Amino acid sequence: MSEPVRPKSFQEIILRLQTYWAARGCAILQPYDMEVGAGTFHPATTLRSLGTRPWTAAYVQPSRRPTDGRYGENPNRLQHYYQYQVLIKPSPPDLQALYLGSLEAIGIEMDLHDIRFVEDDWESPTLGAWGLGWEVWCDGMEVSQFTYFQQVGGHDCHPVSGELTYGLERLAMYVLGVDHVMDMPFNDPQSAIALSYGDVFRQTEAEYSRWNFDLADTEKLLGDFERAEIECARILDAPEVDPKTGRRIVMAHPAYDQCIKASHIFNLLDARGVISVTERQAYIGRVRALSKRCADAFVTTAAGGWTPETGAER
Amino acid sequence: MPDLLLELFSEEIPARMQARAADDLKRLATDALVEAGLTYASAGAFSTPRRLVLTVEGLTEASPTLREERRGPRDDAPEKALEGFLRATGTTRDALELREEKKGRFYVAQVVTEGRPAATIIAEAIPQVIRNFPWPKSMRWGAGALRWVRPLHQIVCVLSAEDGAEIVPFEVDGIVAGNRTEGHRFMAPEPFSVSSFADYETKLKRAFVVLSAEERAAHIWEDAGNLAFAAGLEPVEDKGLLTEVSGLVEWPVVLMGRIGTAFLDLPPEVLQTSMREHQKFFSVRNPKTGRIERFITVANRETADHGATILAGNEKVLSARLSDARFFWENDLRIARDGMGPWADQLSNVTFHARLGTQAERIDRIARLAREIAPVLGAKPDDADRAARIAKLDLSSEMVFEFPELQGLMGRYYAEAAGLPAEIAAVAQDHYAPLGPSDAVPDAPLSVTVALADKIDTLTGFWAIDEKPTGSKDPYALRRAALGVIRILLSNGLRVNLDRFIDSQLVKHKIALNRAEAKEGEIAALEDVLEEIADHGVFGAAFETVMEAIRKNGKDQPQTGEGSLLRSVGDLVPDLSTDLLAFFHDRLKVYLKGEGLRHDVIDACLAMPGHDDLSLIVMRARALGGFLGTEDGENLLQGYKRAANILAQAEAADGVEYRYGADVKFTETDEERALFAALERAEGAIGPALEAEDFAAAMTEMAHLRGPIDAFFEAVKVNADSQIVRRNRLNLLHRIVETCTQIADLGRIEG
């Protein structure tokens, strides 16, 4: 293989991943336009991993974890960061090889590094989902999660999706040899106007850290959570046939938006420290109940494998 | 004699499952082959991260042909029965023979089961083994239905003999068995074919795969030792980690790296835990100072730069990890030096168990119990209280949040940093012990006090809310807690009457459980019960005293009748207490069995009063167990049994119990009088021996009664004509039984 040229910037790594996975047939989607905690929450992963219809997608997903905010000071922790997500259903037999190819594509020289697949089972209590797989280590550092979905929203996955999640900042810091995330070149450092990750995000990290930890209005958030929950149920309770068009329209996606919203509000409340240990479990259970209902609804839509002849597959 | 080679090649198998999987493969596959009629000389199984391998040597070439005679219906049976028999045996009517028997003429078939070649049997058996493999967790992948631990890619199944090798043809979910495999994922990915196990093992090694996990482990440990030694250091032994790491590599390459100087001042346990848990590194220690100064990591490959890039990467990751650890340590120390106040506050917000309240409430209960236990163990109640209140504060620390396994140890460091005396700080670490059956047991009085209080509080709590262990389910590790109490008491030889502390703590739990709903005065009354227990030590009496006082005071007092809280506590606590003590006894039996003490011996001692003093029970059981093996022991048992049996028969026949003192004035024979005298003398000696807890001496005295007892039965008919004489003799037997059962209920001894 030709000697990989080392990328120069954060964005180049993203672009190379996009190019790599596009060349392997993935639909390159755009980030979901809502606040989520991880790329898995994108409906292109959660909902599309359900049902029998084949699917292949890759995308960057900005992700928010309010409790990880460190005001932009910590070299590795951010409350807003990027994940790169690949989901292929059914999982191809050469998924490991495809994944290793992507590492090579972003400039990791396979002959010099020690890549390992270390057991790490994945479970999302809020999504009612689990899978088996690994965290992938490069010289002792976790660079990706690799998961074969077994269940999502309480539904067994048939066929099984293979999911790859790259923590982009951490991976890029490693590839670019940077010790503090804020020092990482965002665009080409030779550009006329060179920007570092810190130039783009240092200020927002501080702003959001302050808001997440100390200012977010918990009363409002508690109310928002309730409203999202109610709206989700209301959407799913609506009759399948739309009285206006006369068509069968099950609104799985709008309902799922409310589930995403509730999940993020829960994360914010958690960061504000207003959720006790016992309540925590209860909130997680409430979000899971929403995601299950959305999954139930999705498998009764065409994208979820439903047909007028056969109905839902399970 | 052909040999079988089977390789199941998959994506990476979790390290912790590999050894067990290799064992299972060997057992299940060989069982299936034997079941199908093959035999073999030897078998072995191996695992690497990507393969499970089985070799079976000296297989028989085919299963034997079996001939079997089967008797069918009688010749006058309905046609249907005969047809059924023909179907079942696969024979035709003209192949049957008729045989004359007592009950008539019967059809008999000769059923021949032809032997089958080994390959055919293997091709049937192995797919079954694969489909039903007992992985602790398995998965599906792609669009298939097969379950395996991770996607299964290739199967090698080769049967080799002197005249060549053949592929055993079968297919599992589209995977066709063949003779091709591949080597190391990165160092030798090209496929190659194999013809036998020896060929396979050699080619694998050439392709940078060490098949045997033991060989990989030995190699890692040897290289680790050499690398460390060359730097004047030594690797810290960690068998669990060695096994795990051996399961993460096919071609181990051992590298030693440096720990940044900024981190060398962290407690060694923190360094070790962080490196092991996050990075699977071995710690490397300076034998002179005991300090951890380097680490060892095991890579899965060789590189052109001799691991320089790999090591640099690992060092960098470690620095990030240890920066976190140092951050936690420094933050924690700040809080510790200020007296740990915020940690105590935080524990009020942490639930221990939904029904048993917060950690803060739990700690308060433990501290109160520790205060009660302290005087019995020679600890100062104030110190016990204080120690109990700091012992769990580290649960709020950042370090313990990150590394739960450091709980207790960090508590000790932080308590020392807070300026607490060493013996109080030590309680934080010691009070969790013993954790496992071979874990060390604390012996400092303060540590023992809090360790007992902690465990008794946990046990009584879950008893109070009826969450006892059932079968294999013991989510709160209550068996371990009870065993902990037992081991602490026994190895320190402590004499503690558990009843009183169990009762007291049950009442505390009942107070906590009912506080919200209780009516006026009820909680106060239960607190009075606690005080009474502290003064008098017995729940029943304490409870009645308080109830009596309530009744006397009359007006404005809490309800005490049926259905009231107080009455239900009064009824429930003794039952729970008895049940929990029985649980301790069960654990004690399991524990003593390991010591070789007989079940019936322990039961005999458990039947005695004072059985809430576990050390006393064990002293008795050990004395009795030892004694029963001797001639005197046999004498004691036989003398007792003879008296007890006749007494029991008479009591059953008469429907009365003979419990009155026998009187020497109703005696008629010398033997009777001699027995009286012997009893008199024995009792005089047994009393002081029991007082001194010299159970062997007491039993020797009891054993000496055998002669007089035997002589008595030889000479005397118990069932005398005179009712007075008869009754006196039965009462005398009762006195023997009573004398002989002061250490154990000998009636429970078998044999």
Strand (E) positions, B492-565?
A: none
Q: What is the pLDDT of residue A312?
A: 65
B349 and A CB contact within 8 Å: yes
Query: B516 and chain A: CB distance < 8 Å anywhere?
Result: no
Query: Among the listed ranges A290-299, B79-88, B295-304, which one has the minimum average pLDDT value?
Result: B79-88
> Are the CB atoms for B602 and B582 separated by under 8 Å?
no
Q: Compute how many other C-beta atoms are within 10 angstroms of the C-beta atom of residue B714.
A: 8
Confirm or reject contact between B653 and chain A (CB < 8 A): no
Q: Please give the ipTM for the structure prediction.
A: 0.94
Q: Which residues in chain A are closer than 8 Å to B349, comparing Cβ atoms? A: 276-277
Share above pLDDT 70 across residues of chain A, in percent, rounded to a whole number: 97
3-state secondary structure of B34: helix
Interface test with B, best of A115, A136, A139, A155 (most B CBs within 10 A): A139
Q: How many helices and strands in chain A, by DSSP H and E? A: 8, 9
Judged by DSSP in three states, B400 sits in helix
Q: Does B320 touch chain A (CB under 8 A)?
A: yes
pLDDT digits (tens, 9 = 90+) for B212-228: 999 999 999 999 999 99
The answer to which of A191-195, B95-99, B604-608, B730-734 has the lowest mean pLDDT is B95-99
What are A240-247's contacts with CB under 8 Å, separation 24+? A240/A300
* pLDDT tier, A59 (very low <50, low <70, confident <90, very high otherwise): very high
Task: Determine the Cα–Cα distance for residues B200 and B157; give it in Å rounded to an integer.
Answer: 11
Residue A304's CB is within 10 A of a number of other CB atoms, namely 22
Residues B730 and B650 sit within 8 Å (Cβ to Cβ): yes
- Token reading at B403: 């590394």
What are the chain A neighbours of B137 within 8 Å (beta carbons)?
Answer: 121, 132
Whether residue B98 contacts residue B49, with contact meaning beta carbons closer than 8 Å, is answered with no
Distance from the Cα of residue B275 to its chain's centroid: 29
The verdict on a CB contact (< 8 Å) between A132 and B137 is yes
Interface mutation vs chain B, best among A88, A104, A119, most B CBs within 10 Å: A119
pLDDT, one tens digit per residue, over A197-239 is 999 999 999 999 999 888 889 899 999 999 999 999 999 999 9
Q: Which of B16, B303, B317 sits opposite A112 (nearest CB)?
A: B303
B354 touches chain A (CB under 8 A): yes
Asked whether the beta carbons of residue B312 and residue A140 sit closer than 8 angstroms, the reply is no
A179 contact residues in B (CB cutoff 8 A): 316
Distance of residue A48 Cα from the nearest chain B Cα, in angstroms:
15
Give A132 or B77, the one with higher predicted confidence.
Answer: A132
Whether B304 contacts chain A with CB within 8 A? yes
Cα–chain-centroid distance for residue B245?
A: 26
Determine the distance in angstroms separating the CA of A31 from the nearest CA of chain B, rounded to an integer: 26
CA A161 to chain CA centroid, nearest Å: 14
- Choose among A76, A112, A116: nearest Cβ to B309: A112
Question: CB distance B297–A121 less than 8 Å?
Answer: no
pLDDT in tens, A72-93: 988 888 999 999 999 999 999 9
Q: Spell out where A139-203 has E strands.
A: 141-152, 155-156, 162-167
Tens of pLDDT, residues B268-289: 999 999 999 999 999 999 999 9
The pLDDT value recorded for residue A278 is: 63
Distance (Å, whole) CA B662 – CA B676: 9
Tens of pLDDT, residues A254-280: 999 999 999 999 988 888 877 776 678
Q: Does A159 touch chain B (CB under 8 A)?
A: yes
Q: Is the model's pTM score more than 0.95?
A: no
**Tokens of residue B31, six digits:** 């069982």
Radius of gyration, CA atoms only, chain B: 37
Stretch 244-283 of chain A: residues touching chain B, C-beta under 8 Å:
276-278
Non-local CB neighbours of A145 within 8 Å, separated by 6+ positions: A120, A122, A133, A134, A135, A136, A163, A164, A165
Question: From CA A54, how far away is CA B143, in angstroms rounded?
Answer: 10
Backbone angles phi, psi at B180, to 5 degrees: -110, 135
pLDDT at B559 over 80: yes
Does the pLDDT at position B114 exceed 80? yes
The 3-state DSSP class for residue A210 equals: helix
Kindly state whether A67 is in contact with chain B, defined as any CB-CB distance less than 8 angstroms. no
pLDDT confidence bin for A314, thresholds 50/70/90: very low
Q: Is A116 on the interface with B (CB under 8 A)?
A: yes
Phi/psi for B585 (5° steps) reads -60, -40
User: DSSP letter string over A171-189?
Assistant: HHHHHHT-SSGGGSBSS-T
Interface of B with A in 16-55 (CB under 8 A): 16, 49
Whether the pLDDT of residue A178 is over 60: the answer is yes
Chain A touched by B11 (CB under 8 Å):
yes
Query: With b meaning 16 or more CB within 10 Å and e meaning fewer, what string describes B687-705?
Result: eebeeeeebebbbbbbbbb
Give the residue-averaged pLDDT of B256-262: 94
Which residues of chain B make contact with A75, given a CB cutoff of 8 A? 320, 323
The DSSP H or E segment spanning B739 is helix B723-740
> Is the Cβ of B245 closer than 8 Å to some Cβ of chain A?
no
- pLDDT band at B439, cuts 50/70/90? confident
Is the Cβ of B739 closer than 8 Å to some Cβ of chain A? no
CA dist., res. B16 & res. A120, Å (int): 12
Nearest Cα of chain A lies from the Cα of B285 at a distance, in angstroms, of 21
- CA dist., res. B355 & res. B18, Å (int): 40
Q: Of B20, B16, B44, which is closest to residue B30 (Cα–Cα)?
A: B44
The pLDDT value given to residue A277: 65
All residues of chain B having their beta carbon less than 8 Å from the beta carbon of residue A158 are 140, 143
Report pLDDT digits (tens) over B654-681.
888 888 888 888 888 899 999 999 999 9
B142 contacts chain A (CB < 8 A): yes
Yes or no, beta carbons of B309 and A113 under 8 Å apart: yes
> Could you tell me how many residues make up chain B?
751
Instruction: Judge whether B112 is closer than 8 Å to chain A, CB to CB.
Output: no
* Average pLDDT over all residues of chain B: 92
Q: Tell me whether residues B141 and A75 touch, CB distance under 8 A.
A: no
The H-assigned helical ranges of B554-595 are: 565-593
Give yes or no for B300 touching A (CB within 8 A): yes
Min distance B354 CA to chain A CA atoms (Å): 7
Where is pLDDT greater, at A18 or B114? A18
